[in-house]
Amino acid sequence: MALSRLEKAQTWLWKAVMGLLYGLFRLLSPRSPAVSRRLPAVSNPLLAVSAMQLAQKIRRREVCPPPRFNVFMVTYLLCSHTAHVFAAALQEAAQVDKLIEEETGGEEVLEDRLPLLGVPLSVKESFALQGMPNSTGVISRRGVLATVDAPPVALLKRAGAIPLGVTNTSELCMWSESHNHLYGITNNPYDLERIPGGSSGGEGSILAAAGSVIGIGSDIGGSIRMPCFFNGIFGHKTTPGVVSNENQYPPSSGRHEDYLSAGPMCRYAEDLLPMLSIMAGPNAHMLSLSTKVDLKKLRFFSIPHDGGSRFTSPVNKQLLQIQRKVVERLEADLGVKVQEVHLPGLRYSFQIWDTYMTLPDKEGKPPQAFVELMGEPGRPVWPLWELLKWMMGRSEHTMAAIGLALVEMSHASKPVPFFIQQNEKLRKEVEELLGTDGVLLYPTHPNMAPKHHHPLFRPFDFAYTGILNILGLPVTQCPLGLSEEGLPMGVQVVAGKLQDRLPLAVAVYLEKAFGGWRDPGAK
């Protein structure tokens, strides 16, 4: 659907304002030294195997856990870890041999009881990991340590995974770049001058660099999928309500619990399903993950772009081309017909996400104000005052957080009925389209990993992921090789509610067809 003249004028004005703000930002921002370093290539073959394969080697004593990860070099270059427990990890690893010796039921019993035995695990810092920081990059929360494990973290540890530490996030987990004034800015392993995404950017970065084997992220607007896309790894946004969101910071408020999902992040597709089965705990039965998926019996759909929203950038030609290649491979390999569809409501993806994120819960209580979270444990911050302080280099908050606080000030007291209607119409269309056997291909983001701070001037491009949170759908992020610039490309694979096993199965296929994760140091 073409844009009207008014919408074209608004689009032009928006881009002009963003261009002006970008110029001012460059003028006022402190200059950082140029970074010419790159990551070393993965030299240890154990770093190039999946978690399932590594656990098997450990159970068979073909390798002593954990394998030697170049974590210190990776962490130094990427600024991905915020705190580590390497000493404790080594102590836990020393107990693995003892567990193997004491198991009298053989390897199969050990695999059933401890499927991730000895596998290194990194954890997004917003999840509680006992004894580790739980600040989400807020300086006023410096020194706050988790006293318990978040349920999915506890389940992964109970399955034998060994935590290495916690990884960086955006401030309060509400931005597409993992940057805060407590830990600094995280780099993309494929290009250190580019972003790894957010808010699970530390996870995406360390996993892509082979500094960890598996990780855990959370997603309320794309915070698993964007980092996985920008860093060329796999990730899964689970159907909401399956994996527990307890003991995360910030806690859910308003209707956020309906849109927030925790899920696995990893380099290899075969690790997604067993990780999700563990993380779901008592709710795993809801997903029927043990049911075999026959890809030839699925119905496939493809949507190449959002239809021309004035808030989002046009989709990069290379991403359009790689999605077409996926369609061609599916049709050639599986004998299926991939139908291209267009849903007009996707043009309003950002407005729908923004509207629903401000709705009150069932008891009428609105979400906790972002200015309150920024100011905790003290008083709420004043966004305009913080902006002035930032311009003078005195604010404890990032420009992204201050900008979000300013946007919050502009919200109407009541939701716009039009966007509620558009969402209900879109929800019905998508549910009818996908049913229980449909799979949809949809871009993750209009562009490959942007350079640092550039998302400030394209703030709504996350709408490609955010709309799927509001629709409550499971999504698997799949890498599809590298662009001409050597940056990861990928696609979202979407299914109907509770049909998580479908995109997980497609991910395994796409890994074989397009090569999956690529070593960033081997370019």
Letter string b/e over residues 245-275, b meaning 16 or more CB atoms within 10 A of that residue's CB = bebbbbebbbbbebbbbbbbbbbbbbbbbbb
Judge contact between 197 and 181, C-beta under 8 A: no
Torsional class of 53: left (φ above 0), alpha (ψ -120 to 50), beta (otherwise): alpha
Mean pLDDT of 336-359: 98
If we measure between CA atoms, which residue out of 194, 193, 246, 195 comes closest to residue 218? Answer: 246
What is the reported pLDDT for 71?
60
Residue 199: cis peptide before it, omega within 30 degrees of 0: yes
Judge contact between 234 and 476, C-beta under 8 A: yes
Judge contact between 244 and 228, C-beta under 8 A: no
> Rounded distance, CA 260 to CA 367, Å?
13
> Rounded distance, CA 477 to CA 214, Å?
15
More confident residue, 523 or 444: 444
H/E element holding 19? helix 5-28
What is the reported pLDDT for 68?
53
If we measure between CA atoms, which residue out of 461, 523, 518 comes closest to residue 267? Answer: 518
> Rounded distance, CA 246 to CA 151, Å?
7
> Rounded distance, CA 250 to CA 123, Å?
15
Render pLDDT for 487-510 as a digit per residue (tens, 0 to 9). Answer: 999 999 999 999 999 999 999 999
What is the reported pLDDT for 87?
73
Mean pLDDT of 448-456: 96
Mean pLDDT of 403-408: 95
Render pLDDT for 407-443 as a digit per residue (tens, 0 to 9). Answer: 999 888 899 999 999 999 999 999 999 999 999 999 9
If we measure between CA atoms, which residue out of 42, 61, 68 comes closest to residue 164? Answer: 68
More confident residue, 97 or 358: 358
Mean pLDDT of 18-35: 66
> Which of helix, strand or coil describes residue 17?
helix
> Is a pLDDT exceeding 90 seen at residue 479?
yes
Residue 377: cis peptide before it, omega within 30 degrees of 0: yes
Render pLDDT for 99-116 as a digit per residue (tens, 0 to 9). Answer: 888 877 788 889 999 999
Q: Sign of the CA dihedral 193, 86, 124, 408?
A: negative
H/E element holding 433? helix 417-434
What is the reported pLDDT for 29?
63
**Band of pLDDT at residue 254, cut at 50, 70 and 90:** very high
What is the reported pLDDT for 69?
56
User: At what angle are helices 272-279 and 151-158 packed, to 10 degrees?
Assistant: 120
Judge contact between 511 and 299, C-beta under 8 A: no
More confident residue, 239 or 21: 239
Main-chain dihedrals φ then ψ at residue 479, nearest 5 degrees: -75, 150
Q: What is the CB neighbour count within 10 angstroms for residue 419?
A: 18
Ordered by where they begin, the domains of the chain are 32-359+415-514 (3.90.1300.10)
> Rounded distance, CA 191 to CA 454, Å?
14
> Rounded distance, CA 319 to CA 1, Å?
21
Which amino acid is present at 202? G
What is the reported pLDDT for 419?
97
If we measure between CA atoms, which residue out of 114, 124, 70 comes closest to residue 92? Answer: 114
What is the reported pLDDT for 84?
75
> Rounded distance, CA 312 to CA 161, Å?
39
Q: CB within 8 A of 258, min separation 6: which ones?
A: 240, 241, 472
More confident residue, 106 or 285: 285
Residues taking part in catalysis: 124, 199, 223
What is the reported pLDDT for 422?
98
The upper half-sphere exposure of residue 186, i.e. CA atoms within 13 Å in the direction of its Cβ, equals: 40
Which amino acid is present at 145? L
What is the reported pLDDT for 257?
98
More confident residue, 285 or 73: 285
What is the reported pLDDT for 22?
72
**Band of pLDDT at residue 37, cut at 50, 70 and 90:** low
Q: What average pLDDT is seen over the chain?
A: 92
> Is a pLDDT exceeding 60 seen at residue 1?
no
Share of residues in the chain with pLDDT > 70 (%): 92
Render pLDDT for 154-209 as a digit per residue (tens, 0 to 9). Answer: 999 999 999 999 999 999 999 999 999 999 999 999 999 999 999 999 999 999 99
Residue 250: cis peptide before it, omega within 30 degrees of 0: yes
If we measure between CA atoms, which residue out of 407, 109, 475 comes closest to residue 263? Answer: 475
**Band of pLDDT at residue 65, cut at 50, 70 and 90:** low
> Rounded distance, CA 259 to CA 466, Å?
9
Judge contact between 261 and 520, C-beta under 8 A: no
Q: What is the pTM of this model?
A: 0.94
Mean pLDDT of 232-237: 98
> Quick one: three-class SS letters along 240-270?
CCCCCCCCECCCCCCCHHHCCEEEEEECCHH
> Is a pLDDT exceeding 60 seen at residue 67?
no
